[in-house]
Structure formats: C-alpha cells, structure tokens
Amino acid sequence: MAYTIDNEKCLGCGACAATCPVSAIESDSGKYKINADVCIECGSCASDCPANAIHK
C-alpha cells in the first residue's frame, strides 16, 4: 500500500514535500500529491505532517 494524502485534511504547509528524500511529493495549485512510482515508503512525510493527513 502506498502513502496517500487526504486533501480534506491537508493544510498546504509543504512540510511533506520538504522532507521527502526522493522528491515524490508535488503540489498542483496547492493540492499535494504523492507520486507512488517515486515514493520509497520511508514514512517521513507522514511523521512530519502537522495535520495527520498522510496515511498508508
């Protein structure tokens, strides 16, 4: 199972994109999205998200 971002909970802070070691998180007009093809499932984004919006 890949990590996904719940855009209803996301605050758009960008912390997940900043912490991702492989730049798998992109924002498209303020909506953050994880590219599952690039993600190595390290869990950093989920740990750093202040809104608890990222889950596996």
Q: Which residues in this chain contact ligand SF4 in the complex, by CB under 6 A?
A: 3, 5, 10-16, 19-20, 22, 24-25, 32, 34, 39-45, 48-51, 53-54
Q: In whole angstroms, how far apart are CA 54 and each of 8, 22, 23? A: 11, 16, 15
Nearest distance, CB of residue 45 and ligand SF4, angstroms: 3
- The secondary structure element, H or E, covering residue 29 is none
* Nearer CB in complex with ligand SF4: 25/29: 25
Structure tokens at 1: 């199972």
| Residue 50 per-residue DSSP state | T
Nearest distance, CB of residue 31 and ligand SF4, angstroms: 9
